Structure 1
Amino acid sequence: MTKSVQEIKSDVALVIDHAEDLLKQAAASSGEQAAELQRRGMKLLRQAAEKAQDLQDAVVERSKAAAQATDDYVHDHPWKAIGMAAALGLAVGLLINRSR
């Protein structure tokens, strides 16, 4: 099972924080130590990018599932869907008319 969107967001934020810390340390260091800290920081940033891609994939997957469920419902209950759409349209029309 895939991680939740919130867990992935948390992972990305954590990895970025670690990378920022390493890059700040690298800026304060010199020589081989600075180069090593920069390498580690860049590695963490690549990990953050991968986790961000996982987040995007999870959101797309959930969006597709929601769209499929909506499509299935509309096909199984067309008159209910028409009624809900009409009610929503009426409510939006009343709100727009009220705001004038």
Structure 2
Amino acid sequence: MAKKLEKTIDQDLTLLADTLDEVLQSAGNKSKDELDKIRSKAEGVLRDARSRFNGETLTKHAREAAATANDYVKDNPWYGVGAGAAIGIVIGVLLGRR
């Protein structure tokens, strides 16, 4: 699930960057009608990206990711213990450097 969300975010950011790049490159040599068309396209892409990643959607994805992680730890408890120990060691080393 997290990979799917990450891929979607990457695609949206790439599309936004490409559209912005098109607007910036063509601003000097396009007619007003063509600029209005490009601007409308950019606004549409931005609106779609915002609607897909509003607070509700991100909260839903975060809950699904947490549920998936919870299920994984329940199915593989020793991996969870190992990860917790590793994180504890890292934090201990970092705090010990003070």
* TM range, smaller chain: 0.5 to 0.7
Aligned mates of 2:18, 2:48 — CA distance in 1: 11
Structure 1 match to 2:42: 45
The alpha-carbon distance between structure 1 residues 84 and 41, as it changes in their structure 2 partners (threshold 3 A), is closer
Instruction: Please give the root-mean-square deviation of Cα atoms over the aligned residues, in Å.
Output: 3.7
Which structure's CA Rg is the greater one?
A: 1
Deviation at 1:14, TM superposition (A): 1.3
CA shift for structure 1 position 92: 1.6
Q: Among all aligned residue pairs of Structure 1 and Structure 2, give the percentage whose two residues are the same amino acid.
A: 20
Partner of 2:69: 70
**Counterpart of 2:23?**
19
Give TM-score scaled by structure 2 length. Answer: 0.57
- In structure 2, runs of 5+ residues without a counterpart are none
Residue 28 of structure 2 aligns to a residue whose secondary structure is helix
Taking structure 1 as the reference length, what is the TM-score of the superposition? Answer: 0.56
1:84 and 2:75 are equivalent in the alignment: no
- Residue 95 of structure 1 corresponds to which residue in structure 2? 94
Deviation at 1:63, TM superposition (A): 4.7
Whether the 8 Å contact between 1:74 and 1:81 is mirrored in structure 2 is yes
Report if the CA contact (8 A) 1:16-1:44 is conserved. no
Q: How many residues align?
A: 91
Gaps of 5+ in 1: 27-32
Shift in Å, 1:9: 2.5
1:48 partner letter: V
Deviation at 1:62, TM superposition (A): 6.0
